[in-house]
Amino acid sequence: MFSIDLSGKNAVVFGVANQRSIAWAIAQALDRAGAKLVLAYQNERVSKSVEKLAATLSTPAMTIECDVSADENVESMFARIQGELGHVEAVVHSIAFANRDDLGGGFVDTGREGFRLALDISAYSLVPITRYAAPLMVENGGAVLTMSFLASERVFPGYNVMGTAKAALENEVRQLASDLGGDNIRVNAISAGPLDTLSSRVISGYRDMKRIHAERSPMGRNITLDEVANTALFLCSGMSSGITGEVIHVDTGYHIMGI
């Protein structure tokens, strides 16, 4: 097993809701590598569970409420982090939201407001997060990471508007990587296979999606949270110093299959 040392580095992780969240698995991996963490959570509803989880990390983590639907929240959060920690070397964006009604039925029925909301929270939010994080990364360079899914490239009935959001998100990864590469700030995405979380359970057809992934992927199984978290750790560390604008599939190879 290789080891990555992130001691002396600060990492901000968005998207922990509970112990099943992909963001939580990533936070734990970054913590094990020695990074100091800030956990940015959505709202009061999840604050208790996030604070409980934060207390289990080996280095005490700051927890900050940040609803990404308003840029001011993101700006003031990074201003606070700048005041308290000075610098940041890694930011993980593990956030998505769409109305339940828009995650099933025909994509053709997606309404304007549901479309706007899904794209705003799940895709646009990466832009202000990167914008306000970048000045804190300029000193040492840094890594921004987001979470995507194969529905950005192919049709998964039921995933609907979230597929559109993931396509936008992956395009943002490339544009942000181009903007910030000169400052040694790298921007990448993980395209993960299905994992049982609060968000995935809302998608109609999720069970079938997971079963079919296991049946058809070259490795003949589903991925684990640890596999995603380890890839995230790699992408947040100097081990991936030459990689930016990339979407890495962590899906036991499902995306290469034709049938």
Looking at residue 50, its amino acid is: V
Dist. CA 132–CA 165, nearest whole Å: 21
Which residues contribute to the site for ligand NAD (CB under 6 A)? 15-17, 21-23, 42, 46, 67-69, 94-97, 121, 147-149, 192, 194-195, 197-200
Residue 36 CB, nearest approach to ligand NAD (Å): 20
Q: Of these residues, 41, 124, 132, 159, which one is catalytic?
A: 159
Q: Which two tokens stand for residue 4?
A: 């990555």
166 carries an active-site annotation? yes
Residue 94 CB, nearest approach to ligand NAD (Å): 4
Q: In the β-sheet with 142-148, what is the strand arrangement from edge to edge?
A: 62-65, 36-41, 10-14, 90-93, 142-148, 185-192, 247-250
Dist. CA 166–CA 136, nearest whole Å: 26
Cross-strand partners of 13 = 39, 92
Q: Of these residues, 9, 36, 124, 166, which one is catalytic?
A: 166
Residue 144 CB, nearest approach to ligand NAD (Å): 14
Residue 13 CB-half CA count within 13 A: 29
Dist. CA 236–CA 12, nearest whole Å: 11
Closest to ligand NAD by CB, 23 vs 137, is: 23
Closest to ligand NAD by CB, 149 vs 234, is: 149
Closest to ligand NAD by CB, 11 vs 192, is: 192
Cβ atoms < 10 Å from Cβ of 101: 13
Residue 237 CB, nearest approach to ligand NAD (Å): 20
Closest to ligand NAD by CB, 94 vs 244, is: 94
As annotated, the active-site residues are: 159, 166
